[in-house]
Amino acid sequence: MIVKTHEVPPIILQLEALIKRLPQNHPKIPQIIEDLNIRNAGFRGELAIDYPLSFLNEKDYSIFHDLRLKTKKHYFQLDTLILNPKVAIILEVKNYSGKIHFETGFKQLIQTKDGIEKGYPYPLTQLERHELQLKEWLQQQKLREINITSLVVISNSYTIISTSPEEKSLHQKIIHKEELPTKIPKLVNSQQNQPLEEKELKKISRLLLKQHTERNSSILEQYQVDQKELVKGAICKNCGSLPLIRIKANWLCTTCNSKDKLAHLRALDDYKLLIKPTITNSEVRNFLEVKSIATANRLLQSMNLKYDGEKKGRMYYL
Cβ count within 10 A of residue 212: 16
Q: Buried b / exposed e across 78-91, counting CB within 10 Å, b at 16+? A: bbbbbbbbbbbbbb
Tens digits of residue pLDDT in 210-248: 999 988 889 999 999 999 999 999 999 999 999 999 998
What was the pLDDT predicted at 274? 97
Q: Tell me which of 171 and 265 has the higher pLDDT.
A: 265
Mean pLDDT for all residues in the chain: 94
Cβ count within 10 A of residue 69: 23
Q: Are the CB atoms for 143 and 200 separated by under 8 Å?
A: yes
What φ, ψ does residue 239 adopt, rounded to 5°?
-120, -5
Crossing angle of helices 293-302 and 281-288, in 10° steps, is 100
Mean pLDDT of 198-220: 93
Q: With 80 as the cut, is the pLDDT of residue 311 above it?
A: no
Q: Are the CB atoms for 2 and 65 separated by under 8 Å?
A: yes
**What distance lies between CA 158 and its chain's CA centroid?**
25
DSSP assignment of 148-216 equals: EEEEEEE--TT-EEEE-TT-GGGGGTEEEGGGHHHHHHHHHHT--SPPPPHHHHHHHHHHHHHH-----
What was the pLDDT predicted at 50? 96
Tens digits of residue pLDDT in 163-186: 877 777 888 899 999 999 999 999
Q: Which amino acid is at 111?
A: Q
Cβ count within 10 A of residue 13: 16
Tens digits of residue pLDDT in 85-120: 999 999 999 999 999 999 988 899 999 999 999 999
Tens digits of residue pLDDT in 23-62: 999 999 999 999 999 999 999 999 999 999 999 999 999 9
What was the pLDDT predicted at 168? 73
Instruction: With cut-offs at 50, 70 and 90, classify the pLDDT of residue 265.
Output: very high
